[in-house]
A and B are shown apart, each in its own frame.
Chain A
Amino acid sequence: MKYAYYPGCSLEATAKEYNQSAKIVARHLGVELWEIPDWSCCGATAAHNNDHLLSLALPARNLALAEAEGLDVAVPCAACFNRLRAAEAAVRESESMRATISEIIGRDYRATNRTRAFLDVMVNEVGLEKIKEQVVKPLAGLKLAAYYGCLLVRPPELTAFDDPEDPMTMDRLVLALGGEAVSWSYKTECCGGSLATARTDIGVRMIFQILRHARDAGAEGIVTACPLCFLNLDMRQGQAAASQGEQFNLPIFYFTELMGIALGYAPKALGLTSHFVNPIPLLEAREILRHPATRRETA
């Protein structure tokens, strides 16, 4: 199984642990990732807000590079995934848009390849059965809230791999890894995205609501598939809690980190040591990092 890999800007910076852990679990599960050489930014919300053609052309350049190689594209960043899918759909649906985009990027792009969320590739292509077979350190006793945010599942005509209102892909993955997924009502609520930078006052209230609902549903941690969601919930957790006179201690995980842990990799190798809210004490308290055979309880 081979995919073109589009990490996106965040995965080289604030989300480097997502990049690290994604590469590790892909290799472990026999998925070859061919990183698109000299890939460029997808333009994110900024291009989308300002210039329709630019917002399609920037991702299209990367898709064209992958298409020339005959590969589908695997994308860990939910925001990038959404933008790449939008470009793919626009080109697939309209011949004149195809011509315009090809002209702007100076490359032929016909959208014969597909963009897939890395989560989708793992759960639906590699498959939960295969992942389950490889688990050596089950996340036994760990209660997690699967948080999808908005761009991974909406709008459904673009994303189309899970239910836009009650997605279950990550919940099922958590179960396959031996953990528990709590039922909660904020799994697709928007975290405010870049609003947290531009209007922190508004952003932290949105972040606070998500954290509060996860905790109230009994979650001990939150699992995400988006660098911006992660950054908002992890880095701004203290700010968000303090704004309402509360305190949380909710570790945030990328799903790839949890996969890596369950597959037996060390937290440091996966990047878990660079979180703002330290997740190691929770993993230790549940004795997940110890070999199951030496655990007190039986998994």
Chain B
Amino acid sequence: MERVELAGALRENLPLKSQVEAASGVTLSDCYQCGKCSAGCPVAFAMDYTPRQVIRLLQLGLGEEALKSHTPWLCASCQACYTRCPREVNLPRLMEAVRQEARRRGMINEKKVVIFDQAFLSSVERYGRAHEMGLMVQYNLQSGQPFKDALLAPPLLLKGKISPIPAKIKNVAEVKNIFARARAKGGGQH
């Protein structure tokens, strides 16, 4: 972390801080930094900042640093931290709010996570259901790793567990409408 002048950073970053609070419904000052969330986080080993540290950065007004972190992108949304937090800080929602703000600013730290989500949603919008085979192919191509998990595909096909043909629902127009109307409403905040 580069050196920062705290008082100035505090003033400058106030909008980001309150923005993330509003989007997530989390009051940052609720967290008293006990570290219980990070102790139980199953992805902590792969994170640059632990979940507790992400909150600390935001509390200190160092939101930029939190936006640059990979942590919000790696959060598996497993709810362990939220379930255990003595202050009921909804960390998974906070992580999402940080992630959405980062994305809004074009700071996508884990492109593969985003590509996967987008591939999933476009499948649902098109067919009304998730098409696992198409999803794998689209994800692999767009993430530039065409042969990823290639060894797993043939046995899956053989066991009839994935199909090259998507299962399309009859009333796919209704699902398309749900996407359109949710979009028109701006998706709502998290």
Set of chain A residues within 8 Å of B155, measured between Cβ atoms: 276
Q: How far is the CA of A280 from the CA of B91 in the complex (A)?
A: 42
Whether B179 contacts A54 by the Cβ 8 Å rule is: yes
Q: Of A50, A53, A205, which contacts B121 at CB under 8 A? A: A50
Q: How far is the CA of A209 from the CA of B44 in the complex (A)?
A: 14
With A154-B80, A190-B80, A199-B110: A9-B132 Cβ-Cβ less than 8 Å: yes
Q: Which residue of the partner chain A has the closest CB to B47?
A: A202
Q: How far is the CA of A51 from the CA of B43 in the complex (A)?
A: 23
Asked if B112 is at the interface of the complex by the 8 Å CB criterion, the answer is yes
Q: Of B78, B178, B183, which contacts A58 at CB under 8 A? A: B178
With A40-B175, A199-B110: A100-B80 Cβ-Cβ less than 8 Å: no
Q: How far is the CA of A57 from the CA of B132 in the complex (A)?
A: 22
Asked if B76 is at the interface of the complex by the 8 Å CB criterion, the answer is yes
Q: How far is the CA of A45 from the CA of B116 in the complex (A)?
A: 10
Q: How far is the CA of A51 from the CA of B179 in the complex (A)?
A: 10
Number of A-B contacts (CB under 8 A): 168
Q: How far is the CA of A10 from the CA of B120 in the complex (A)?
A: 13
Whether A199 contacts B79 by the Cβ 8 Å rule is: no
With A38-B169, A188-B80, A198-B110: A52-B124 Cβ-Cβ less than 8 Å: no
Q: How far is the CA of A190 from the CA of B43 in the complex (A)?
A: 9
Set of chain B residues within 8 Å of A199, measured between Cβ atoms: 46, 74, 110, 112-113
Whether A61 contacts B174 by the Cβ 8 Å rule is: yes
With A61-B178, A205-B45: A53-B77 Cβ-Cβ less than 8 Å: no
Q: Of B43, B121, B181, which contacts A202 at CB under 8 A? A: B43
Q: Of B99, B129, B161, B185, which contacts A53 at CB under 8 A? A: B185
Q: Interface code B128-168, partner A: CB below 8 Å = 1, 0 otherwise?
A: 11111100100100010000110010011001111100010
Q: Which residue of the partner chain A has the closest CB to B139?
A: A197
**Residue in A39, A206, A209 with the greatest tally of chain B CB atoms within 10 Å:** A206
Asked if A110 is at the interface of the complex by the 8 Å CB criterion, the answer is no
Q: Of A46, A100, A164, A190, which contacts B76 at CB under 8 A? A: A190
Q: How far is the CA of A103 from the CA of B177 in the complex (A)?
A: 11
Q: Which residue of the partner chain B has the closest CB to A149?
A: B78
One of A11-19, A126-134, A170-178 at the interface: A11-19
Q: How far is the CA of A61 from the CA of B174 in the complex (A)?
A: 9
Q: How far is the CA of A244 from the CA of B15 in the complex (A)?
A: 45
Q: How far is the CA of A154 from the CA of B109 in the complex (A)?
A: 27
With A45-B117, A46-B116, A103-B181: A274-B160 Cβ-Cβ less than 8 Å: yes
Whether A51 contacts B182 by the Cβ 8 Å rule is: yes
Set of chain B residues within 8 Å of A155, measured between Cβ atoms: 79, 82-83
CB distance from A94 to the nearest CB of B (A): 12
CB distance from A196 to the nearest CB of B (A): 10
Whether B77 contacts A48 by the Cβ 8 Å rule is: yes
Q: How far is the CA of A53 from the CA of B185 in the complex (A)?
A: 8
Whether A41 contacts B124 by the Cβ 8 Å rule is: yes
Q: Of B46, B116, B174, which contacts A194 at CB under 8 A? A: B116
Asked if B106 is at the interface of the complex by the 8 Å CB criterion, the answer is no
Nearest 6 Cβ contacts at the A-B interface: A190-B78, A154-B79, A46-B120, A150-B78, A51-B187, A53-B188
Which residues in A have some Cβ–Cβ distance to B below 8 Å?
9-10, 12-16, 38-41, 43-54, 57-58, 61, 100, 103-106, 150-151, 154-156, 164-165, 188-190, 192-195, 197-200, 202, 205-206, 209, 235, 274, 276
If A54-B178, A198-B143, A202-B46 are given as contacts, then 13 extra A-B residue pairs at C-beta distance below 8 Å, sorted by A number, are A9-B167, A38-B171, A39-B169, A41-B130, A54-B187, A58-B175, A104-B185, A192-B42, A192-B43, A199-B46, A199-B113, A206-B43, A235-B156
